[in-house]
Amino acid sequence: MCAAGSSARASHRSAATLWIVERPDDDPVDLIVARSVTRLHLEGVVVHRPRDRDDLTPTMRSMTPCTNLLRTLVDLGAVTGSVEDAVGAAITSGAVTPSVLHHLLLRHGRPGRNGVGPLRAAVEHWTLQGKPADSVLELGMARLIERHGLPPVEFHARCGGFEVDFRVVGTPVVLECVGWDYHGRTRPQFERDQERTLLLGAAGYVVLPFTWRQVTRRPGWTAARIRELVDRWS
């Protein structure tokens, strides 16, 4: 790193490794350097001088300056052609959300920008009805609804002034995915969630909250509860 100058930072595959994305042991070292740095030849090192300077403010990982995670995901796709595993690891770890990646695509999605195509393909796996999912749990609920032949739902519908996870089409039944990572971390968040549920109820909606365990470990039981409520409402 020192030989490449003070502007150098780990990038692409090397930055992905620093962000704890599993990579092959024989990956080369990737460095981004200033465009003014020329005639730099280091064995086993791939030097990059990108024209796109967005999201290039360095961050420190394992005491090494590197590109931030968002820039890393774009650049990784440019050299590997696929970032599905990296995107999955980043989202499930809580480091980013699909919504953030959607905005990243809008920022970098200019014609000819290498890496945007693979990132877009990866993000599509985290999209429901054309909208970015907020969590793995929402994707799990969508799969449960499809596999059990439940009535159609609208994803991220607007109900009573709030955006809800799912609303059963043609009914006031709302399905909420209650993940501990977001809803259970703080008391203020818990209080906001309860107030939101009360206000939705006052507006005439019937809210069914489901946990990670219910959606992923007890899908049949969860599907039966949804069907019972929809049938009762009908």
Position 183 scores a pLDDT of 47
Q: Which of 29-38, 111-120, 130-139, 170-179 has the highest mean pLDDT?
A: 170-179
143 and 229 both lie in a single domain? yes
Domains of the chain: total: 2
Separation between Cα atoms, residue 14 and residue 19, nearest integer Å: 9
For the domain that residue 221 is a member of, what is the CATH number?
A: 3.40.960.10
Q: Do 121 and 6 belong together in one domain?
A: yes
Tell me the residue range of the domain where 174 lies: 131-233
Q: Give per-residue pLDDT as tens, 103-132.
A: 888 888 777 788 999 999 998 888 899 888
Residues 100 and 150 both lie in one domain: no
Kindly state whether residues 140 and 117 are assigned to the same domain.
Answer: no
Phi, psi of 91 (to 5 degrees): -75, -45
One domain, residues 193 and 84: no
Same domain, 21 and 55: yes
Same domain, yes or no: 20 and 102: yes
3-state secondary structure of 9: strand
One DSSP character per residue, 111-129 reads TT-TTHHHHHHHHHTTEET
Query: Averaged over 72-86, what is the pLDDT?
Result: 93
Q: Are residues 44 and 95 in the same domain?
A: yes
Tell me how far apart the alpha carbons of residues 57 and 88 are, in angstroms, rounded to a whole number: 23
> Which residue among 125, 158, 188 closes a domain?
125
Residues 6+ apart with CB under 8 A from 162: 196, 199, 200
Is the four-CA dihedral 186, 188, 194, 199 of positive or negative sign? negative
Co-location of 20 and 81 in the same domain: yes
Is residue 174 located within the same domain as residue 218?
A: yes
pLDDT at residue 42 in the model: 72
Rounded to the nearest integer, the mean pLDDT of the chain is: 88
User: Same domain for 47 and 72?
Assistant: yes
Question: What integer pLDDT is reported at residue 168 of this predicted model?
Answer: 97
Q: Of 91, 106, 125, which residue sits at a domain end?
A: 125
- Could you give the CA distance from residue 216 to residue 134 in angstroms, rounded to a whole number? 17
Residue 182 has pLDDT above 70, yes or no: no
pLDDT per residue as tens digits for the range 15-34: 999 998 888 999 999 999 87
